């Protein structure tokens, strides 16, 4: 599930050592410019390029930068390992020579998984399940939408799962454990030094125990005094198994903590009344201070609105259960949307209430019933959930609240604080919600930035099912008999020309929504009128790339605007593209105020 951005490259070997890399290059003939790519054992998400030239080996580290790009120290940034290698195949740009010939992995040799690679999947699941109380589909969606952020979170605590990690024990107790049983050179353990959040490494050599303080610098990186720096404790330990880096000898054998992988990273005991569990502050490898990480969608109650689905998914909310605020969240032809609170057995929930203005109009009432009927069938974290209908002074549709409001407005008033990366994350979530709709055979027909609502800056939900249709089992499109008040600028050619609506026409709208998002709420096609836009599209033109939009996102946008719906990607494909890009650029955790003390503790 969590894909290494280099996994597709036939010259990527995974987590192999420098000497293994050299061995592969040797066996492949050592031609000048022969190269391979491997995982960097020091930095999360980094690589090493190993290159042969005049019968010598050259190794270049590729760092993953804070902004998500990759670069060889001193070189140009690239958006992924593939792009980087392609670049250096054309231009040596500081390397001893250009990359000429990939040293291919033989077909029967799998990519070598690193220590964390093989643990990651299980840890992710366990973590999401316990920390956020999620299960089933909601858990899968949480993992898919937030894998990079979660991986970083988990990587920094992965040492807690290792057999050599003994937690908070005193130095004397460390010695006692190392001296018990066999005492081979290089037997080692890692322990917490005290409550300062720093670590110590204790090891045996010549029947004597040596203690070393593991240093941590401000950026959060770990190292031995004057040694190589690592993002995590377990990477440091893996490295010290290969190189002493200042120790009396390399690490050889773990002094077992006796817990054999049963331990889960420490989780908080605190819990809110509604079943919400606040996230633990585990980025903490890098932050002993009160630094908070960005909230993830799963930190919002809205991620899993139903603690008891049977309790809430009914059409009969009683008026007495509803408190309605005067605050209007929005309005339309139908009436207005108001803020409110729904009282349930499980507690109070903030809600948005769509209130019909004109009760007498039978048509309007039927429309809202249809909207409710559609929403009732949908259950996905990235789609606004309907909680029920209430028939009182007027007909009211009760939905979970997305308090940060419509995406276009949010972006245009928060231009300075929202990064392109956040937009990628949000649009990936939208694509997940749309993929769900596509699987369930629903067409939305009004996907636009105004109908994507935000719960927080990192959590988007699709809303407004006023025009949506459920397709029959055998149909792949809905045919409108007459054209209505349609959002033409968001509509695909087949909608306008033949009144045919399908998930593929929603994909077109998704492209326009992406354009709006990367333009920070800009108006698509500026001041042009609907029919002018139609002419523009028919002539083969498309909107330009918004200034802040990454090239790959613009490429995807244009794919969404493929004229023929048969050739247009579906949401399965669109979501995959969004996901790969989202994963490839996701940030490392920001460096936070940790202290580095320089004295060894021998
Ligand atoms: P319309 O069909 O008129 O576009 P919408 O369902 O899009 O109706 O709702 C209109 C406005 O009400 C939205 O733009 C938004 O500002 C607000 N709104 C609707 N649903 C919610 C919600 N669940 N949470 C917060 N605000 C909402
Ligand atoms: Mg709307």
Residue of 397, 409, 473, 413 lying closest to 441 (CA atoms)? 473
Q: What residue segments make up the domains of the chain, in order of their start?
A: 18-113, 117-157+275-285+292-299, 159-264, 309-400, 405-588
- Look at residues 235, 264, 204 and name the one whose alpha carbon lies nearest to residue 44: 235
pLDDT of residue 208: 96
Which one is predicted more confidently, 304 or 561?
561
Of 356, 371, 463, the C-alpha closest to 408 is 463
Task: Report whether 238 contacts 222 (CB < 8 A).
Answer: no
Query: What pLDDT score does 306 carry?
Result: 64
Instruction: Choose among 489, 432, 101, 411: nearest CA to 297.
Output: 432
Ligand showing the shortest atom-to-Cα distance for residue 354 = 1
Please tell me the predicted confidence (pLDDT) of residue 308.
56
CB atoms within 10 A of CB 180: 9
Give the pLDDT score at 491. 97
Quote the CA–CA distance of 488 and 80 in Å, as a whole number.
36
Which segment of 117-131, 254-268, 494-508 scores lowest on mean pLDDT?
254-268
**Stretch 493-497: mean pLDDT:** 96
Protein residue with its CA nearest to atom 5 in ligand 1: 464
Please write the tens of the pLDDT for every residue from 387-428.
Answer: 999 988 889 999 999 999 999 999 999 999 999 999 999 999
Q: Which residue puts its alpha carbon closest to atom 21 of ligand 1?
A: 352
pLDDT, position 199: 95
Sign of the Cα torsion 291, 269, 152, 116 reads positive
- For 405-588, the fitting CATH number among 1.10.10.10, 1.10.510.10, 1.10.10.60, 2.60.40.1120 is 1.10.510.10
- The CATH number of 309-400 is 3.30.200.20
125-172 pLDDT, tens digit each: 888 888 888 888 888 899 999 988 888 888 888 898 889 999 999 999
Tokens of 219: 């950026």
- For the segment 230-259, what is each residue's pLDDT rounded down to a tens digit? 989 999 999 999 889 999 999 999 999 987
324, 374 in Cβ contact below 8 A? no
Q: Is the CB of residue 347 below 6 angstroms from any atom belonging to ligand 1?
A: no
Q: What is the pTM of this model?
A: 0.77
> In terms of CATH architecture, what is 159-264?
2-Layer Sandwich (3.30)
Burial of 434 from C-beta contacts in 10 A (0-12 / 13-18 / 19+): buried
Please tell me if the CB atom of residue 405 comes closer than 6 angstroms to any atom of ligand 1: yes
pLDDT computed for residue 584 by the predictor: 80
Query: Do the beta carbons of residue 443 and residue 506 sit within 8 Å?
Result: yes
What pLDDT does 266 receive?
Answer: 43
* The domain made up of 18-113 is a member of CATH 3.30.505.10: yes
Residue 383 Cβ < 6 Å to ligand 1: no
In whole numbers, what is the pLDDT of the chain averaged over residues? 87
* HSE-up (13 A, CA, CB side) for residue 302: 28
Q: Do domains 18-113 and 309-400 have the same CATH topology?
A: no
Q: pLDDT confidence of 510, banded at 50, 70, 90?
A: very high
Q: Confirm whether 231 is a catalytic residue.
A: no
Is the per-residue pLDDT at 277 higher than 90?
Answer: no
Identify the helix (H) or strand (E) that includes residue 115: helix 115-132
Q: Which of 4, 231, 299, 446 is catalytic?
A: 446
pLDDT at 602 over 60: no
Listed residue (402, 383, 401) closest to 341, CA to CA: 401
Characterize 181-208 residue by residue with b for buried, 16 or more Cβ atoms within 10 angstroms of its Cβ, and e for exposed. eeeeebbbbbbebeeebbbbbbbbbeee
Report whether pLDDT(262) > 50.
no
Bigger pLDDT: 300 or 289? 300
Query: pLDDT over 90 for what percent of the chain?
Result: 64
Q: Which residue has the higher pLDDT, 286 or 351?
A: 351
How high is the pLDDT of residue 149? 84
Task: Give the integer Cα–Cα distance in Å for 326 and 337.
Answer: 10
Strand ranges for 273-420 from DSSP E:
322-332, 335-344, 347-356, 386-391, 395-400, 405-406
């Amino acid at each position: 599930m969590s894909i290494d951005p280099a996994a597709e490259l036939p010259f990527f070997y995974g987590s192999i050592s420098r000497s293994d890399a050299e061995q592969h290059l040797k066996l492949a003939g050592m031609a000048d410019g022969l190269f391979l790519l491997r995982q960097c054992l020091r930095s999360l998400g980094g690589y090493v390029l190993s290159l042969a030239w005049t019968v010598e080996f050259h190794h270049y580290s590729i760092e993953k930068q804070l902004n998500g790009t990759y670069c060889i120290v001193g070189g140009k940034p690239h958006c992924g390992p593939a792009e980087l290698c392609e670049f250096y195949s054309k231009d040596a740009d500081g390397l001893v020579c250009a990359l000429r010939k990939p040293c291919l992995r033989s077909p029967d040799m799998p990519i070598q998984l690193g220590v964390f690679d093989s643990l990651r999947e299980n840890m992710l699941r366990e973590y999401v399940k316990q920390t956020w109380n999620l299960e089933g589909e909601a858990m899968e969606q949480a993992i898919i939408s937030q894998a990079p952020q979660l991986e970083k979170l988990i990587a920094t605590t992965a040492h807690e799962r290792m057999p050599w990690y003994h937690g908070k024990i005193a130095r004397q107790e460390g010695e006692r454990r190392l001296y018990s049983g066999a005492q081979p050179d290089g037997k080692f353990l890692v322990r917490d030094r005290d409550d300062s959040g720093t670590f110590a490494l204790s090891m045996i050599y010549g029947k004597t125990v040596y203690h070393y303080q593991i240093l941590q610098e401000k950026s959060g990186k770990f190292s031995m005094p004057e040694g190589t720096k690592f993002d995590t404790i377990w990477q440091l330990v893996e490295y010290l198994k290969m190189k002493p880096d200042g120790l009396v000898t390399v690490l050889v054998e773990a002094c077992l903590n006796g817990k054999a992988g049963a331990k889960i990273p420490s989780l908080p005991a605190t819990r809110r009344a509604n079943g919400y569990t606040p996230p633990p502050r585990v980025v903490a490898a890098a932050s002993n201070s009160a630094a908070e990480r960005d909230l993830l969608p799963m930190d919002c109650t809205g991620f899993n609105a139903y603690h008891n689905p049977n309790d809430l998914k009914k059409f009969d909310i009683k008026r007495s259960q509803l408190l309605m605020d005067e605050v209007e969240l929005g309005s339309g032809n139908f009436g207005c949307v108001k803020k409110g609170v729904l009282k349930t057995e499980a507690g109070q929930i903030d809600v948005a209430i769509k209130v019909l203005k004109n009760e007498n109009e039978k048509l309007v009432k039927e429309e809202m019933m249809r909207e409710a009927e559609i929403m009732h069938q949908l259950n996905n974290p990235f789609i606004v959930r309907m909680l029920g209908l209430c028939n009182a002074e007027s007909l009211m549709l009760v939905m979970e609240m997305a308090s940060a409001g419509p995406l276009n407005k949010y972006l245009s008033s928060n231009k300075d604080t929202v990064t392109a990366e956040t937009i990628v994350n949000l649009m990936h979530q939208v694509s997940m919600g749309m993929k769900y709709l596509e699987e369930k055979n629903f067409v939305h027909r009004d996907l636009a930035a105004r109908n994507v609502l935000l719960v927080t800056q990192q959590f988007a939900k699709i809303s407004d099912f006023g025009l949506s249709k459920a397709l029959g089992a055998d149909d792949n499109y809905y045919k409108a008999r007459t054209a209505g008040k349609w959002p033409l600028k968001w509509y695909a050619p087949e909608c306008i020309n033949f009144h045919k609506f399908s998930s593929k026409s929603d994909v077109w709208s998704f492209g326009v929504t992406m354009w709006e998002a990367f333009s920070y709420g800009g108006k698509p096609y500026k001041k042009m009128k609907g029919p002018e836009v139609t002419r523009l599209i028919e002539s083969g033109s498309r909107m330009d790339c918004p200034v802040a939009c990454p090239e790959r996102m613009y490429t995807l946008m244009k794919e969404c605007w493929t004229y023929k719906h048969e050739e247009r990607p579906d949401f399965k494909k669109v979501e995959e593209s969004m996901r790969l890009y989202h994963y490839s650029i996701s940030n490392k955790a920001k460096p936070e105020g940790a202290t580095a003390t320089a004295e060894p503790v021998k």
